[in-house]
Amino acid sequence: MKQSLRDAFDIKSKEKKINIINDYEIFKDKKLLDKLRTEIVENLIDREIPKDMALDEWLNDLIDKTIEGYDLSNLERSHLYNLIDNEINGYGPITELLNSKNITEIMINSPNEIYIEIDGVLSKDESVSFINDEHIIRTVQRLIQPLGRTIDATNPMVDSRLLDGSRINAVIPPLSTKGPVVTIRKFKESMRSIDELIRIGTLTPYMARFLEAAVRGKLNIIVCGGTGSGKTTLLNILSGFIGDNERIITIEDAAELKLEQAHVISLETRRTNYTENGEITIRDLVINSLRMRPDRIIVGEVRGKEAFDMLQAMNTGHEGSLTTMHANGPLDALNRLETMVLMGGMDIPVKAVREYIISAIDLIVNVERMSDGRRKVTSICELEDFTDGEIKLKEIFAFEQKGLTETGEVDGEFILYDGVPKVYKKIKARGITDIEDIFEPNLNNNLPDRKQDFS
């Protein structure tokens, strides 16, 4: 049986035959590189591979015939080989970007407009390009095919997680007017521990210890922040503090959380295209999870009608639940949560909704991506009381920005507010006493002064 190069795109080699040369500058003539690559990938893609010829040998022969008459160095030829090898055994032009441990985000806006994020800094990668829009779509299809997903004119949008846990979002025409747009969010392995967040200055050891105690003490916590602020990363780390003896149910649109506890049930929504039925929403899964005897419910992101069901779960014995929300701060998170409940069709007075929220939520943790690209936990606050129909927030920890350094880095300090938070008593009642040194010195001092420069 003969094999074509298109079929070979589904072949995964166990090891590379030669080292990858990922340097666009190797080719002196960029136009020639694009011409040769286009000819091989596009014009020769349906050629058949002789059954008596190894793929490696056939590929070399194919390249030799294509570059015949061109004066290419061995280095240029190797670079061309690797580009084609990545098409067969990898994910095309972005293979090396996906393999890089330093890159956290890949954004494809057009064939020649690819941006990457490293350490919170966004930059255009001039060394990577696609041949055309079809080349981008073909690469996306290869990425999502193992997940049982597809992208085409009838299903022009996909939002899913890849096999390595990264998240891919792709939109193609007719939804996107400029062609395929792809965003891949990767997660650094090192960002799976609270110690790493401390090391890079996202929060302080005091804040980390408090959050760990809050999770162990079964406080209901909302992590809020803007897009790309690190909400899911922080949620994943906080979830790691849940005990191994608890039954945890995670609910997400695309499974990104990587919990290492023994008893974890992961639920994922199901979307439909324009012709299919059977959509399963976050709300459906939250309601169903209540019948699964959970000790903890973790909702990857709450953003709609499921808000009421989540609050109901928190108010009916499912303490220690965690979720994230898109919001610009704790107060905005409360307003958005209130709006979500009211938009869910519940005929409940606003005052009753607010009372329901304050009885369900213990802590709101706000995380921000600062102007220098670094992430900071800028606020940890509790819902203190309900006065004159309004929920009052009380700051426990905060980050106060003073300005920017000469190199453009954010200059500021973390603050521990004086006074003993209400939730501390709840944590202590659970038998957790290893954060006494943070708050016990303040038991007899409830002045609104701040303690600064703590660690």
pLDDT (tens digit, 9 = 90+) per residue, 224-251? 999 889 999 999 999 999 999 999 999 9
C-alpha distances in angstroms, 188 versus 39, 233, 253, 388? 36, 9, 20, 45
Domain end point (choices 186, 202, 225): 186
The per-residue pLDDT for range 128-176, each reduced to its tens digit, is: 889 889 999 999 999 998 888 889 988 899 988 887 878 899 999 999 9
Q: Residue 441: which pLDDT band, with cuts at 50, 70 and 90?
A: low
Q: Into how many domains does the chain fold? A: 3
The per-residue pLDDT for range 290-345, each reduced to its tens digit, is: 999 999 999 999 988 899 888 988 888 889 999 999 999 999 999 999 999 988 77
Q: In this structure, are 84 and 227 located in the same domain?
A: no
Q: In this structure, are 328 and 420 located in the same domain?
A: yes
Q: Residue 385: which pLDDT band, with cuts at 50, 70 and 90?
A: confident
pLDDT at residue 85 greater than cutoff 60? yes
**pLDDT for 255:** 74
Q: In this structure, are 424 and 382 located in the same domain?
A: yes
Q: In this structure, are 305 and 396 located in the same domain?
A: yes
Kindly state the tokens that stand for 95.
């293979």
Angle at the Cα of 369 (from 205 to 120), degrees rounded to 5?
95
Domain, as residue range, for 367? 189-452
Q: Judging by DSSP bridges, how do beta strands 410-417 and 221-225 pair with one another?
A: unpaired
Q: In this structure, are 85 and 102 located in the same domain?
A: no
SS3 375: strand
pLDDT at residue 382 greater than cutoff 80? yes
Q: In this structure, are 182 and 198 located in the same domain?
A: no
Please tell me what DSSP assigns to residue 408: S
Q: In this structure, are 362 and 228 located in the same domain?
A: yes
End-to-end distance of the chain based on CA atoms, in angstroms?
67
Per-residue burial over 121-150, b if 16 or more Cβ lie within 10 Å, else e, is eeeebeebbbbbbebbbbbbbebbeeeebe
Q: In this structure, are 411 and 290 located in the same domain?
A: yes
Domain end point (choices 156, 186, 216): 186
**pLDDT for 41:** 73
Q: In this structure, are 200 and 316 located in the same domain?
A: yes
Instruction: Provide the CATH number for the domain around residue 152.
Output: 3.30.450.90
Q: In this structure, are 119 and 153 located in the same domain?
A: yes
Q: In this structure, are 358 and 400 located in the same domain?
A: yes
The larger pLDDT score, comparing residue 37 to residue 288, is at: 288
- Integer Cα distance of 438 and 454 in angstroms: 10
Domain end point (choices 66, 90, 114): 90
Kindly state the tokens that stand for 160.
């899913």
- In whole angstroms, how large is the CA radius of gyration of the chain? 26
- Integer Cα distance of 160 and 167 in angstroms: 6
Handedness of CA 417, 420, 425, 431 (dihedral sign): positive
Q: What share of the chain in percent tops pLDDT 90?
A: 46
Q: In this structure, are 35 and 76 located in the same domain?
A: yes
Instruction: Provide the CATH number for the domain around residue 195.
Output: 3.40.50.300
Angle at the Cα of 202 (from 230 to 302), degrees rounded to 5?
30
